[in-house]
Amino acid sequence: MQFGVKLLVLVSLHSAVAINWKNNACHNIFSYYFSAISRNCYENDDVRPNDLPSISKRHGYDTETFTLTTGDGYELHLYRMSSTKSQTTKIPLFVLHGIAVDVESWVDIGNRSLAFNLVDGGYDVWVGTLRGTIDSNKHKTLTVNDPEYWNFNLDTITNEDLRIQLEFVANATQEKAVIVAHSMGCTLSFMFGSEYPDRASQLIKGMVALAPVVYLDDVPFTTSALLWAMPLIQIFKALNIKGLLYHEKLVHSFETHVCKLLPNLCYFLVSTASGKTKQFAPEDLLLFTSYWPSGVSVYQLEHFLQISKDHKFQKYDYGTHKNKEIYGTENPPVYNLTNVQFPVSLFYGTHDVLFLQKNIDRLFNELGSSQKYKISVPRNAGPEYGYSHIDFLWSKNLRKFLYDDVFEKLDLIINDSGCQDSKDSEVSEDSKGTRNSEDSKGPEDSEDSEYFEG
């Protein structure tokens, strides 16, 4: 009799608490500690490392993969996305990721993913990749384990990776593409437009820049990094260590396991690396760690730090002697942003760890385009809810707070309208972009999710 009662109790408990050790996404941060039994947690197949075609297929999208070889021997994957649910009726978009991020960041949050929304909007979506990431880590004669593989900086990537992909898209579609870029993807695009204005006019119809990184003057994050990261980079170079974080599967697996056990610690690290956020959704935590960080060259990092230190948007500084040999001058040349003539929309977040208003204003004022905008995201909430650096890729209400504005600016580029003078564009967007009223309210949480408060 007692045995029967105990058995009944066990069966009842099992029915009340279903155990699933595969749960890897939770609607609030606390539930990760009990993810196997919490009703606030579930299993998300996208958390496990997948490539872009696999994720896209699982969500009903088709992908065509092209392999391009740069002039210096790097093999890059370029993806063209489509869907049977929508017809491609609009111009090509070239979507480019940022530093230390895999290309899967464009498709890893299900129907909130920007690439999927662009395809559904009828655009011909081409997703670019960059050398050193897991999607494009092959070379004709080198491997990622060879220090020589990592001998590249931002100038190199611009001249080789960005150029060859833009030219391929233009040849395949017989149209100019609109660039949709995040972070370093914006850096490279502005470098290309500045250095090759004639070629840019043939390949680029316009640009949507998400969390653009160009000027880093007096940014606390990079200013402090100059004190410790720059000496560390010099040590790495002396030890012939030129590539970092490129054993991505191992890094991501370790990171994801740790974050499942210590989610608060991981969120702290996310905020430290990208900025305080009230937009990042808890269920995206392990998605983020599944695809971040990605392989990066020490020369890329050093190049950004040089830009921060010298307060100039410039080419890589090799030192006085080698600069004279390569550039003909003791100092590296500065990129002339007035050469950027295509339409540009700058989307920035006030909680971005790399943001200072004066740097966005400087970039905006120096751009040569007659059709340019700067938009603080989100526009319909108080500044305390401003986006961090990664919120442009991982946050809950992307359609409401970002995508509507992105699609609006894409339509302006396509229709060649909105060509008011740049000062009017600035005033118009800023008046809607920053609201300082004490009555301003933050974004509404979805019913099934909480936002990190940081």
* Per-residue pLDDT tens digits of the chain, which is 454 residues long: 554 544 443 334 343 446 777 888 999 999 999 999 999 999 998 887 789 999 999 999 999 999 999 999 999 999 999 998 888 889 999 999 999 998 999 999 999 999 999 999 999 999 999 999 999 999 999 999 999 999 999 999 999 999 999 999 999 999 999 999 999 999 999 999 999 999 999 999 999 999 999 999 999 999 999 999 999 999 999 999 999 999 888 888 888 889 988 999 998 888 888 988 888 889 999 989 888 899 999 999 999 999 999 999 999 999 999 999 999 999 999 999 999 999 999 999 999 999 999 999 999 999 999 999 999 999 877 777 899 999 999 988 899 899 999 999 999 998 874 444 333 344 334 433 333 333 333 333 343 333 333 3
Paired strand residues for 243: 297
Name the amino acid, one letter, at 339. N
For the question of whether the overall pTM of this predicted structure is more than 0.75, the answer is yes
Residue 261's Cβ-side half-sphere holds a number of Cα atoms within 13 Å equal to 5
- The confidence score (pLDDT) of residue 440 equals 31
Of the candidates 345, 340, 342, 341, the one whose C-alpha atom is nearest the C-alpha of residue 410 is 345
- The confidence score (pLDDT) of residue 1 equals 52
Alpha-carbon span 413 to 90, nearest angstrom: 11
Paired strand residues for 390: none
- The confidence score (pLDDT) of residue 384 equals 75
* Burial track 289-314 (b if 16+ CB lie within 10 A, e otherwise): bbbbbbbbbbbbbbbbbbbbbeebbb
- The confidence score (pLDDT) of residue 21 equals 78
- The confidence score (pLDDT) of residue 9 equals 39
Please give the span between the terminal C-alpha atoms of the chain, in angstroms, as a whole number: 53
